[in-house]
Chains A and B, each alone.
Chain A
Amino acid sequence: AQKVTQAQTEISVVEKEDVTLDCVYETRDTTYYLFWYKQPPSGELVFLIRRNSFDEQNEISGRYSWNFQKSTSSFNFTITASQVVDSAVYFCALPGGYQKVTFGIGTKLQVIP
């Protein structure tokens, strides 16, 4: 069965600090994708990134970076120089299985001005 664990339920940081959101997953699939979504207070989930299991190269996009390590089944997400607009709930997600997409419980990030 697919499983996604986000151990951090809530994180608070002061604006301009860096913050890393953790995600650990379980799957029996040999090839798979992983996603991160952001859910601001408005409710709409916004797609941030998709990575496949073949590509463990870390990626940086502006203030966002991702660290995918297949050996530890982790797909962590870092925001550099956090801003108040980054305040949201962040979900890690794993497609596959009868659930189609399995989401973690989410990490609520609060950036304090």
Chain B
Amino acid sequence: ETGVTQSPTHLIKTRGQQVTLRCSSQSGHNTVSWYQQALGQGPQFIFQYYREEENGRGNFPPRFSGLQFPNYSSELNVNALELDDSALYLCASSVGQGDNQPQHFGDGTRLSIL
């Protein structure tokens, strides 16, 4: 079975720019969650999509947006990038709406803002 894949692996942007990160979920998984992980911290929940609908959102501003496609892949868009957005962005897929299912993570996209 194909695992969770994320692209790109690394990205360098400047303040004020916009970025799109992509995620392909594991085969058979219909839920995708996005996390931001700052250096030395645990992952922080950004939002979750279940069957193309947003199914929960963490404490992130509206310039963080996303969507999920019919094949359950997903995108994370961040507008007006700030220095504090520098982090590892992790995508995780799982089955169903329940939060108690184990999540399968990709390797992440490391975003650096200059």
| A interface list, Cβ under 8 A from B | 4, 33, 35, 37, 42-47, 50, 52, 91, 95-96, 98-106
Binds A, one of B15-23, B63-71, B103-111: B103-111
List the B residue with the shortest CB-CB distance to A95. Answer: B99
Contact B107 A105 (CB under 8 A): no
Within the assembled complex, what's the spacing in Å between the Cα atoms of A4 and B41? 12
| B interface list, Cβ under 8 A from A | 33, 40-45, 48, 56-59, 88, 90, 92, 99-100, 102-108, 110
Within the assembled complex, what's the spacing in Å between the Cα atoms of A52 and B101? 11
A43 contact set on B, CB distance < 8 A? 88, 90, 107-108, 110
Contact A104 B104 (CB under 8 A): no
Within the assembled complex, what's the spacing in Å between the Cα atoms of A99 and B58? 5
B45 contact set on A, CB distance < 8 A? 99-102
- A42-B99 contact in complex given A91-B42, A104-B42, C-beta closer than 8 Å: no
List the B residue with the shortest CB-CB distance to A99. Answer: B45
